Structure 1
């Protein structure tokens, strides 16, 4: 049981003293970058899906 208590105390100490937390403006900027990157990735994957669907539909309709 003392091992768990030591682990928890060390974890709390490290989170308070050793972790460098971003400022609120840095957090906002990074969140916007992640949102934009996710949207671009979704558009690329959606375009690829549409393209493959179109090509395969045309291919299967040939037979």
Structure 2
């Protein structure tokens, strides 16, 4: 148990004194970039999925006839 407490104490000390944190404004800006990229990427995947789905449906209607 002492090893775990020592680990937590050292980890806290490392995070508090030795880690350089990104400024809040930059973190907000980068978060917005990630959100925008995620939305654009998901729309692109949705579009490709819709096109392929329609192509497959069209193919099977041709084969079925």
TM-score normalised over the length of structure 1: 0.92
Moved over 6 A (4+): none
1:56 corresponds in structure 2 to 56
Answer yes or no: is 1:12 the counterpart of 2:9: no
1:31 corresponds in structure 2 to 31
RMSD: 0.8
Gaps of 5+ in 2: none
- For the residue of structure 2 that corresponds to 1:22, the secondary structure is coil
TM-score normalised over the length of structure 2: 0.89
